[in-house]
Structure 1
Amino acid sequence: MTRKKGGLNRGLGAFISDKNKVEEILKPSNELEIQELKLDDVEPREDQPRQAFDEESLKELANSISEYGVIQPIIVRKVGKKYEIVAGERRYRASKLANKDTIPAIIRELDDFEGENLSIIENIQREDLNPYDEAVAYKSIIDKYELTQEDLSKAIGKSRPYISNTIRLLRLDERVLEFLKSGQISYSIGRELLSITDNDEQYKRALEIMENKISVKAVAKAKKRKKRIKSPNIHLMEVEESFMDRLGTKVRINESQKVISINYYDNEDLQRIIEIIVGE
């Protein structure tokens, strides 16, 4: 039986939610805590959630570091003879690009659990995290800690549908995922492309969107035009909305076929929906 409510996943939620503790670790209490470490003695986490770093942005940060230095110290912990980055890999990479020998750092005594979770928090709460890395981070946290999407939603303060939709982006064709990684297509465009099940067609559509700079609104309108036009049943639309609000997923009622369709994203999501409907 899959463990969904063990101490570890509750600990993760409590750790993420303990903003005072996180703030205390990530920010220095005084300047004496900041040390200059040799860059050769510092290394990133192997399981860093963030995989893509915008090269142009890194160059800009490297230029700033060359002129003004690193303003905000990185957070590290001692692992063997090296210092493992807990927060601040982008500053570390930019410092290397700027040919710096040292970097300001705050050394914290953290166990594996605290070090990993701080790295997770620092990454998934970044505004510049691209949708691909965000999706990978959510999925890895859920898989590793055996969390439900609802658990993660409560822990990081983002809605369960948003987390589900973000993870679903990983189902895109690999070529389209590369566009998502590089920022050539947005989260919203990626969601629209998921409706195209044929990988080659999905890829061709992604190329067309990029080449013609088509907006997400235009993509959505084009998809709607392909559907059969008919007068909407306002009552059924309201019922659909009620179902979606209650179940937290897409629901469609086909009036002509007398069929109700409920979308689910994986077996865990299916079990969650069954529990809501059956009440067990």
Structure 2
Amino acid sequence: MSEDVSKKRLGRGLAALIGEIDQPSAAQAKPSVSADRLVPIEHVSRNPRNPRRSFDTADLEDLSRSIRQHGIVQPIMVRGAGADRFEIIAGERRWRAAQMAGLVEIPVIVRDVDDKTALEIAIVENVQRSDLNALEEAQGYEQLIAQYDYTQNDLGEVIGKSRSHVANSLRLLKLPEEVRAMLAEGALSAGHARAIVSTSDPVALAKLIVRDGLSVRDAERLAQKDAEKANSSRDLETKSAGSTETKDADTVALEKSLTDFLGLKVQLAHKGQGGQMRIEYKSLEQLDELCRLLGEKN
């Protein structure tokens, strides 16, 4: 599938994305897709690139009972993987439940798509169904960016989310492994994790949040206190180093002008012909808006 065709799909949502793949292109002399059919379940395998890793056993058992009574209502989307072999594009949960139900054959829709498109569909379907935990979602986004040079803007259009949603999801991958495990297990919510990702000790705060059952707002307050403490420590270090520089009127005026423009506190520190500019933000939303104002491309 060409890059132009892939780009045209951006922003059209799950229904359009899968709907386009369900239909052969008008420019093709022959349909490149197979008719719906039944295939032996052992001829179908999971997609190792599927971003979803966690499948709740109780949920699978419920679906398995339903499949025993009513069969698989929605066919599993697959692509060819050799002679009479198929790899799942979307529907691994149904495939797993069908195995539990003892089905010998399953209904499939065979589509001729490349690795990139298969991954797109898997991520979009899971995100729209809210089947991915926050960490799996972030890892799926990272995979598309790393392997297929997506920008955050393109990803947002593909999945029907804002660029800030994508950016905030990717920040979760910066968390320590112990906190990521809490997130994957559901002990910590994505809102909690986003609040503490930039703190000095995310592990300690995560344990405190879980232990005391704190809300996301409580977590944000803890993060704010952590930031204020860090700022105070830096100020003390500066004073102890003997920095008593008095800023001239032009520097003060420039700081005010930049602060008014950005809506964030700006401080300038001259050092010879160079210097440093410090911009303070109090939330990830403020950081995202700053990146937009500065013309961030990714």
TM-score, with structure 2 as normaliser: 0.68
Residues 108-140 of structure 1, C-alpha deviations (whole Å, 9 max, x = no match):
233445434333432343323211111011111
- 1:41 matched residue in structure 2: 43
Cα pair 2:123 2:137 within 8 Å, conserved? no
User: Partners of 2:145 and 2:183 in 1: how far apart?
Assistant: 21
Structure 2 segments unaligned to the other structure (5+ residues): 24-33, 230-254, 270-275
RMSD: 3.7
How many residues were matched structurally? Answer: 245
- 1:207 matched residue in structure 2: 207
- 1:276 matched residue in structure 2: 295
State the percentage of identical aligned residues.
Answer: 30
Residues 12-65 of structure 1, C-alpha deviations (whole Å, 9 max, x = no match):
3323445546214359xxxx9432222110011121122222333222222322
Residue 259 of structure 1: how far off its partner (Å): 5.1
Residues 216-255 of structure 1 mapped to structure 2, 5 A cutoff: 216-225=216-225, 227=228, 243=262, 252-253=264-265
- 1:52 matched residue in structure 2: 54
Cα pair 2:199 2:223 within 8 Å, conserved? no
User: Partners of 2:259 and 2:138 in 1: how far apart?
Assistant: 27
Cα pair 2:17 2:121 within 8 Å, conserved? no
2:144 to 141, 145, 157: 141
- 2:172 matched residue in structure 1: 169
Change in Cα spacing, 1:51 to 1:213, as seen in structure 2 (3 Å) is: same
User: Partners of 1:204 and 1:20 in 2: how far apart?
Assistant: 44
Cα pair 2:90 2:121 within 8 Å, conserved? yes
Change in Cα spacing, 1:116 to 1:134, as seen in structure 2 (3 Å) is: closer
Change in Cα spacing, 1:223 to 1:273, as seen in structure 2 (3 Å) is: closer
Change in Cα spacing, 1:116 to 1:223, as seen in structure 2 (3 Å) is: closer
Q: Does 1:261 align with 2:279?
A: yes
What code does the residue aligned with 1:13 have?
K
SS at match of 1:143: helix
- 1:96 matched residue in structure 2: 99
Which structure's CA Rg is the greater one? 2
User: Partners of 1:117 and 1:255 in 2: how far apart?
Assistant: 43
SS at match of 1:106: strand
- 1:80 matched residue in structure 2: 82
User: Partners of 2:87 and 2:164 in 1: how far apart?
Assistant: 34
Cα pair 1:136 1:167 within 8 Å, conserved? yes
Change in Cα spacing, 1:259 to 1:87, as seen in structure 2 (3 Å) is: same
Residues 113-128 of structure 1 mapped to structure 2, 5 A cutoff: 113-128=116-131
User: Partners of 2:22 and 2:128 in 1: how far apart?
Assistant: 13
SS at match of 1:96: helix
Change in Cα spacing, 1:214 to 1:275, as seen in structure 2 (3 Å) is: closer
Change in Cα spacing, 1:60 to 1:205, as seen in structure 2 (3 Å) is: farther
